[in-house]
Amino acid sequence: MHSFTIAQIEDLFEKINQEELLTNEGYAEIMASGEIQLPELYYAYGTQKRVPIQCPIGMPPQTSGIPTSIAYPAMTITHIKNAILLPGGIIIAKNKILIDSFASNWDTTYHNFLKKIDETHWGISNISTNITIDYPVFFCDYQHSDFYGHFMLDSLTRMWGLLYLKNFYGLKNIHTLQTFTKQYITEYLKLYQFNDEQIIQITEPVLVKDLFLAKKSLQIQEYCSPALPLCWNPLKRPLVNNHKARLYISRRTQTKRALHDEDKIERFFASHGYTTIYPETLSIAQQIILFSNASHIIGPSGTNMFGIAFAPPDCQIMILASNAFVHYSEFFLRCQSSEKMYLLTGKSEAYISAKYAGDINAPWSINFDKLQEMAYNFNFI
């Protein structure tokens, strides 16, 4: 068993000029740190400062409310020579595990593919590399198998760096290593112009001669940056006839965080010209086309709603959320949008049923009369 500690990029590598990025090892600042505006929010039960926020496990305590703006760090791209990549998005450089191997900077207590030795050391049974990749590799792997939302937020939010390397540096024949082979992962990577030969499944330690690692433009519950829209814009597919659809994004076919009487909600919006969408039944390209051409989007909070990242800037969006599961993610995905967002929270059985006590994914219900009222008052119907 090999023992490693965790390190930050800035602790291991020197800052270099952008002009040196392709040839030298180090990190280059592409976009300075700053503060970004979040969409204005209408909350059904008070001001946005009163929105109940669910703090993910391992994250420092957060105050209630959705902020009006949020600070973001500098957006950097790091060039690492002779990095060792392992399944689960693990990066070893200079005999350290990079903190980028984890889903977040604020929780390094858990990793699917690492054995925890103590509070500061992690164990890896095998780091011997039988495979060496001489092509440039762009990092966008992650540790969470079959978590579509984490793939979008942990991996695809780095894609601004890929586009920068291609468009400004002319870097060609870039490869990427992926632990998981889910269809949606392959679909997304091909939309970013990776071909089959450039998408390599990683099943053992691999030595990468030139690894390029872009800082995430969104960190769950922490920040989003102006680089985030750059990840989605190239994938948007507005139709030539500028047709605008009204969409209800349903979770009715899913058991986790089930919304009671969602079939009734579907029928109500269908009677007002909405199309009910079950994203998990559609290809990624189909989802992007639908979201790219929507004028109104309503649906329960969660991964199914993450397609709002592709919606037009003037799209009206209403989030329905369990009061046990309100995150920043949907609001981060709409950063730099001038259109107000709307939030209606419901009651989770986590707070009213011993069976689901403390379960953030417990079933929940919403006040249907309040939903109708908001839909009428804010021109959703």
Comparing 115 with 165, the larger pLDDT belongs to 165
Strand 90-93 relative to strand 75-86: parallel, antiparallel, unpaired? antiparallel
Tokens encoding 68: 């009006």
Extents of the domains making up the chain:
2-33+73-234, 237-377
Average pLDDT of the chain to the nearest whole number: 93
Summarize the confidence of residues 71-77 as an average pLDDT. 98
Say what the pLDDT of residue 240 is. 63
Give the range among 133-137, 306-310, 332-336 with minimum mean pLDDT. 332-336
Summarize the confidence of residues 164-182 as an average pLDDT. 96
pLDDT > 70 fraction of the chain, expressed in percent and rounded? 97
Say what the pLDDT of residue 147 is. 87
Say what the pLDDT of residue 241 is. 66
Summarize the confidence of residues 143-162 as an average pLDDT. 93
Residue 341 has φ and ψ, to the nearest 5°, of -105, 160
pLDDT of 180 over the 80 cut:
yes
CA atoms 144, 148, 152, 158: torsion sign: positive
Say what the pLDDT of residue 342 is. 97
Closest C-alpha among 296, 206, 219, 302 to residue 253:
302
Characterise 290 by phi-psi region: left (phi > 0), alpha (psi -120 to 50), beta (else).
alpha
Break the chain down into helix, strand, coil percent, rounded to 5.
Answer: 25, 30, 45
The per-residue pLDDT for range 285-315, each reduced to its tens digit, is: 999 999 999 999 999 999 999 999 999 999 9
pLDDT of 59 over the 70 cut:
no
Rg (CA), the chain: 21
Summarize the confidence of residues 327-334 as an average pLDDT. 94
Comparing 196 with 118, the larger pLDDT belongs to 196
Contact 144, 150 (CB under 8 A): yes
Say what the pLDDT of residue 58 is. 61
Interacting residues of 290 by C-beta distance below 8 A, sequence separation 6+:
245, 247, 275, 277, 282, 307
DSSP 134-190: EEEEE----S-TT-HHHIIIIIGGGHHHHHHHHHHH---S-BEEES---HHHHHHHH
Summarize the confidence of residues 25-49 as an average pLDDT. 95
The per-residue pLDDT for range 213-240, each reduced to its tens digit, is: 999 999 998 999 999 999 999 999 877 6
pTM over cut 0.85: yes
User: Using 50, 70 and 90 to split pLDDT, how confident is the model at 64?
Assistant: confident
Calculated CA dihedral for residues 70, 312, 261, 257, nearest 10 degrees: -40
Task: State the burial class of residue 65 (Cβ atoms within 10 Å of its Cβ: 0-12, 13-18, 19+).
Answer: middle
Comparing 352 with 35, the larger pLDDT belongs to 35
Summarize the confidence of residues 36-55 as an average pLDDT. 90
Give the range among 29-43, 94-108, 212-226 with minimum mean pLDDT. 94-108
CATH number 3.30.310 given to 237-377: no
pLDDT of 210 over the 70 cut:
yes
For residues 98 and 80, give the distance between their C-alpha atoms in angstroms, rounded to a whole number.
11
Say what the pLDDT of residue 60 is. 66
pLDDT of 108 over the 90 cut:
no
Centre a 10 Å sphere on the Cβ of residue 48 and count the other Cβ atoms it contains: 18
CA atoms 364, 370, 373, 379: torsion sign: negative
